[in-house]
Structure 1
Amino acid sequence: MTSIDPSPAEATASATHPALADLAAYPFLSALTERRTRRIPRGFSVNAGPLSHESHNAPAPLSKLEEAILITCVTGITGITTHDGPLVENNGLDELGTPFLNIMARTGSSADNAQATHFFMINDDGIFLLRAPRGERALELLKDLPPRWGDWSEADWIGAADECLVRVSDRRLDFPREWPYYLGWNNQASNAPGTTIFFPVVDCTWQYINAIIILLTEPGGMRPLFLDDWRTFHPKNAVEWIAKIGSGLGIGPKIPYHPIGGLDRVRSGYVNKASQAPLGFGGALRTDYESFFYFQNLMLLGQSMGLGGWIHGSVFPPYIWQQDDAKGWHGLGFRLEEPKKHHKWPPVPASQANPVGIDGILEGLTPPYVSSMDEAVDRVVESKYSATGPAYGNEKVFSSPYRNSDDARAFLEKGTRFGPDEIAYTKEICNYIWDTYGRFPAHVDAFYTPGMWLQFSHLEMEYYDRFFDPRQYTRQAAHDGLWHR
């Protein structure tokens, strides 16, 4: 019988740390049913009237191995994606066969495998960006490690995690413990000494461009007309002014929002006016969903390890992006680019400063990190189809999951790529956004955060033993005996 997870005996034989065998053997269904929020870290005193507790423990940071396993959960490469879809549409036309931005697979599902979510890890030692390996480097790492995580040694986990660590600051993130930085009781136990926090940010720039081009690969007459639903129709020539006046008088079709690219796109038949894509309604174009999958994976893993885990509101944006010692703000240090000023302000976030990246560390596909939006679109296309990129042009990477490399080549030969017309209209859309709002994207931040983070800790067991049913934390009660004996 084939087993997905190694038996305890198999895991023990390969693991250098005794807790790794136990982790590999812990049942998935137990992780699902026993997962709970457990907030109080070791060394933390609780002021709760008759349920108060004074800790006599020092904070107990996670070990390097414990953090390495959690890091790998959000950065680890799990293999290669499988292109198991059709290449011909029901109407007989060719289907787009190259939608993904990456071929290598990770633990979290991702729209078009954009892998847009980047985690920051915050602990007593500082702030770190967790940069996942991509392309051929990811493929090399896979070959150097046992294929099953249950067979990894302590050195394997720590080595894989060290590959991803990029130091951003040598001190813990720090803000005044009050509103508007923290909400409610988060201002006490959140970001406490000894805890390790995972905070996601989503780079919306790459997938925003990729998703627009994908939508434009629909057949002629089916392509959507992109609208700016935050802006009324602004005619650019006499013909469009006539259409606007006719719309206002009720003698022509109503045009409530601005059609990006103008009415010429509709009249030419390139787009279908009945198929509309409003950018304001689209938001992050589902790119942000990926971060929530990682949160769930982390929570289940933390339960399996017997750690305290707590998903809750982070320090609020825009404060968390910033560093300003005079105000007591020690955040991530993002560059915030001011948008174009308008007589009538557009909705948030278009009217606000755009977090575009951290210079030299994590940079979005938007000025000042590109010279123009034309360059931004070109870089997306190049990344997908370049021979050294992480996707379709890299034969070594793309052919990896196939039994026969000839099948991989056949897929790429049949599967359509982005064409010049789709790329040209995408550039027109992206330039419109930049020229109109002075930022890209406008209807979502370049780096979006769901405003949540996940804190792990060793629990203050004396507090739990005093007030709670032991069945609420059996895995956590056994943690020290497994991981720190």
Structure 2
Amino acid sequence: MRTAEGGAAEGGDPGHAGLADLFARPFLETVWRRRTHRVSRGAAVPAGSMSYRSPHEPRPLSELEEAVLIALTGCTGLTMPDRPFDDPRDGKPIMAKPNMTMAGRTAGSPDNAQGTHFFLINDSGTYFLRRLPPAPSTPLDATSLVARARQAKVRVLDHRLDVAEDRRDFPAYLDSNRFLSNLPGTTVLFPVVDLSHQYINALMYLLTQPDDVRPTLVDDRNFYQPAGVKKWVKNGFLNGDIKLPLGALGPLRTQIEADLLLQNLMLSAEAMGLGAWIHASINPQIALGDPKFSRAYGRMLGFTFVTPRWRLPDLWRWHVPLPKYASLRSQPVGLTSPDGEPLIEAACPPAHRTMTEAVDAVIRAKFGPGGTYGDKEVFARIYKEEYGQRYLAEASEYEERVIDCTRDICEYILRTHRRFPAHTDAIHVPGVWLQVHHVETEYYDKFFADGLTDAHRSHEGLWDD
């Protein structure tokens, strides 16, 4: 086995020259030299006098190259609940268990919600990447990486997620992207974000504020009326003078994790000497199979959509003029594998009969048996000595008033707007994806003064089996 300059990464021999080079490559060098390389092996670039057509066949990523990228989308160890338990102003306990999971990832997420799921698209099909238990904190060797990647992949389509060749234009693809995006030989990583579970969790976190500054949720799509919280204002639990519109919550920043993960993936692909390109994906509604587009483009990924039944108030609340336009408010709520396995289930109907049941399911997932804060062994691994048990005993959880008020808000949203959430989608699609490919090195050498890094130039010798 050849050994790259710099040797193996700390933690042992990675068992592969390309991995050894990747583990030893300076981070700042990769960041400083990061540039988008859109032209993949085998591609053609129609550009007037600078037109170029590759003399090569497309060359897909190897299983190991894809396995590295798959590992970077997943869990990488355990995180730390390093937050205060008490308000330093008066010593009162503050809620200190907001996390949805204690598994660490390569990018941060509000309350560690980790709502981002990835699809991987290559020449052999389209795959959902299943969340695996946390990997060791040190880099894995080649054999382990490939084994974990195989465990993670669930094939949902036996072909590339794409539209017909004669439909590769707007609204499916944007402008010049359609000539270089999602081509044979490329690997595409496509994120979608389940906002629903964190939407419920974040509502509870909002309601843990001190008594005098706990906000009153109002509905900006219903004349700014209290969002199911009149009794909570009346009994003093909420401050009626501090009004927070549901629309202002948006996706509660949960979608940011996907963007951070894409950037990490792009930097890692660059360090491997691959081309990496974050750009507009297929229109998200088309890609997921929104009923507004499925007649023209097919079911695509085949997400389950819910379309609220039209009612007269939808005219002024959501500007939906007639029942025949009800699909304007359709939203994705889940995905099932070809074998019937639920892959994504939003915390709302139809996965739950009521929003009270959905809220209770979130609570159980956090505090019930085997839940995030119910597994003492996990905290024994996070903390030294007996500090894990101290944390579980001393850190406060959501009080019952917080949970009850959240139930009322969520029930109000579903009752009033016939979907949950109403002001954002249960499953959000950022609308960008990352394409990774082998670079057409001759193209960059021909036209650009500094188009390639040493990682690109040495890639073939290090990574080819």
2:332 aligned partner: 355
Separation in structure 1 between the aligned mates of residue 8 and residue 236 of structure 2, nearest angstrom: 65
2:323 aligned partner: none
Q: 1:325 to 1:112 in 2, by over 3 A?
A: closer
Q: 1:341 to 1:122 in 2, by over 3 A?
A: same
Q: 1:207 to 1:230 in 2, by over 3 A?
A: same
SS of aligned partner of 2:277: strand
Q: 1:322 to 1:441 in 2, by over 3 A?
A: same
8 A contact 2:6–2:21 mirrored in 1: no
1:412 aligned partner: 392
Letter aligned with residue 398 of structure 1:
F
SS of aligned partner of 2:329: coil
Please tell me whether residue 333 in structure 1 is matched to residue 302 in structure 2.
yes
Shift of 1:475: 2.2
Shift of 1:193: 0.9
Q: Deviations over 1:367-412 (max 9, x none)?
A: 11111111100011001012312x11111112211111x3222222
Q: Of residues 354, 376, 381 in structure 2, which corresponds to 1:400?
A: 381
Q: 1:428 to 1:326 in 2, by over 3 A?
A: closer
8 A contact 1:217–1:422 mirrored in 2: yes
**Length-normalised TM-score, structure 1:** 0.87
Letter aligned with residue 27 of structure 2:
F
Query: Which moves more between the two structures, 260-269 or 16-25?
Result: 260-269
Give the length in aligned residue pairs: 442
1:158 aligned partner: 146
Q: Of residues 259, 265, 279 in structure 2, which corresponds to 1:292?
A: 259
Q: Of residues 399, 420, 444 in structure 2, which corresponds to 1:464?
A: 444
Q: Deviations over 1:294-327 (max 9, x none)?
A: 0110111011001101100011121111188863
1:168 aligned partner: 156
Letter aligned with residue 296 of structure 2:
K
Shift of 1:461: 1.7
Separation in structure 2 between the aligned mates of residue 301 and residue 210 of structure 1, nearest angstrom: 32
Separation in structure 2 between the aligned mates of residue 427 and residue 210 of structure 1, nearest angstrom: 11
Percent identity between the aligned chains? 40
1:148 aligned partner: 138
Q: Of residues 185, 192, 216 in structure 2, which corresponds to 1:201?
A: 192
SS of aligned partner of 2:18: helix
Separation in structure 2 between the aligned mates of residue 466 and residue 303 of structure 1, nearest angstrom: 20
Shift of 1:221: 2.7
Q: 1:9 to 1:184 in 2, by over 3 A?
A: closer
Letter aligned with residue 148 of structure 1:
T
Shift of 1:332: 1.5
1:16 aligned partner: 15
Separation in structure 2 between the aligned mates of residue 220 and residue 260 of structure 1, nearest angstrom: 19
1:69 aligned partner: 68
Separation in structure 2 between the aligned mates of residue 384 and residue 195 of structure 1, nearest angstrom: 39
Q: 1:31 to 1:348 in 2, by over 3 A?
A: farther
8 A contact 1:39–1:308 mirrored in 2: yes
Separation in structure 2 between the aligned mates of residue 127 and residue 97 of structure 1, nearest angstrom: 40
SS of aligned partner of 2:284: coil
1:421 aligned partner: 401
8 A contact 1:365–1:376 mirrored in 2: yes
SS of aligned partner of 2:416: helix
Q: 1:266 to 1:456 in 2, by over 3 A?
A: same
Please tell me whether residue 383 in structure 1 is matched to residue 354 in structure 2.
no
1:45 aligned partner: 44
- 1:242-321 to structure 2, matched below 5 A, reads 257-321=224-288
Q: 1:460 to 1:9 in 2, by over 3 A?
A: closer
Question: Runs of 5+ in structure 2 lacking a partner?
Answer: 321-325, 337-341
Shift of 1:66: 0.3
Separation in structure 2 between the aligned mates of residue 376 and residue 10 of structure 1, nearest angstrom: 44
Shift of 1:483: 0.8
Separation in structure 2 between the aligned mates of residue 442 and residue 43 of structure 1, nearest angstrom: 45
Separation in structure 1 between the aligned mates of residue 85 and residue 295 of structure 2, nearest angstrom: 58
Separation in structure 2 between the aligned mates of residue 319 and residue 53 of structure 1, nearest angstrom: 31
1:80 aligned partner: 78
8 A contact 2:445–2:451 mirrored in 1: no
Letter aligned with residue 375 of structure 2:
N
1:364 aligned partner: 346
Shift of 1:275: 2.3
Separation in structure 1 between the aligned mates of residue 210 and residue 82 of structure 2, nearest angstrom: 22
Shift of 1:12: 11
Q: 1:30 to 1:330 in 2, by over 3 A?
A: farther
Q: 1:10 to 1:428 in 2, by over 3 A?
A: closer
**Length-normalised TM-score, structure 2:** 0.91
Shift of 1:273: 1.8
SS of aligned partner of 2:19: helix
Question: Runs of 5+ in structure 1 lacking a partner?
Answer: 1-5, 233-256
Separation in structure 1 between the aligned mates of residue 294 and residue 249 of structure 2, nearest angstrom: 37
Letter aligned with residue 104 of structure 2:
A
8 A contact 2:109–2:257 mirrored in 1: yes
Please tell me whether residue 346 in structure 1 is matched to residue 337 in structure 2.
no
Letter aligned with residue 283 of structure 2:
F
